[in-house]
Amino acid sequence: MVVHDDGAGTTTAEIYNSIIYGNTANPGADVTIATTTASSSTEIHYSDIGNVNHRSGTYNSSNLISASPLFLDPANKDFHLGFTSPCIDGGTTAVPDPPGMPATDFEGNPRVLGAAPDIGAYEMPEWDPWVYDENEDGIIQKMEAIHAIQDYFSGKISKMQAIQVVMLYFG
């Protein structure tokens, strides 16, 4: 993303609760700030930004992280957060109004679940080990527990989360 003005007008960019990460196309950085008039400014807060190339102009930031958002399956364009994403609960409700923070996420689900809004397009449902009850029979079978362990080893859930599923298997 490039924030720029034409040298005469005012550009005000306010970015909150957003993921801008992993850009490899020109101009390289995830965010390039190149404003020139004194009235222009760029504000980036409570967001996951890979890197910022601050060439010129006013730039303020706070509460940024710079780490892989650990999307569920980005190769297949699934940009839901994984259960171990650093973006979970990393956002803020204190978004400048207008427009303010949307009440729902990109899919229409409630925006604030858990301790705080998540960074990114999708709000992660609160962790529930019963998501591994794949046949929905109210029991965690061996294969379902194994899927949780596999997801732990591939980084999709944390060790504690995998243990919770396995404990349900042992009853």
Interface contacts to Ca ion, rule CB under 5 A = 89, 113-114, 118, 133, 135, 137, 139, 141
Select from 39, 54, 45, 46 the least CA-distant residue to 1.
54
Between 118 and 151, CB nearer to Ca ion: 118
**Min CB(83)–Ca ion separation in Å:** 12
Write the CA distances from 124 to 20, 24, 30, 91, 128, integer angstroms: 18, 27, 24, 12, 11
Give the DSSP per-residue string, 28-63: -SSEEEE--STT-EEEEES-EES-EEEEESEEEEES
**Min CB(20)–Ca ion separation in Å:** 19
Q: Answer yes or no: are the C-beta atoms of 54 and 125 closer than 8 Å.
A: no
**Min CB(140)–Ca ion separation in Å:** 6
Between 107 and 137, CB nearer to Ca ion: 137
Between 57 and 117, CB nearer to Ca ion: 117
The H-assigned helical ranges of 34-171 are 142-153, 159-170
Between 2 and 143, CB nearer to Ca ion: 143
Nearest residue (beta carbon) to Ca ion: 114
Distance of CA 150 to the CA centre of its chain: 23
Q: Which residues contact 75 (CB under 8 A, 6 or more apart)?
A: none
Between 17 and 41, CB nearer to Ca ion: 17
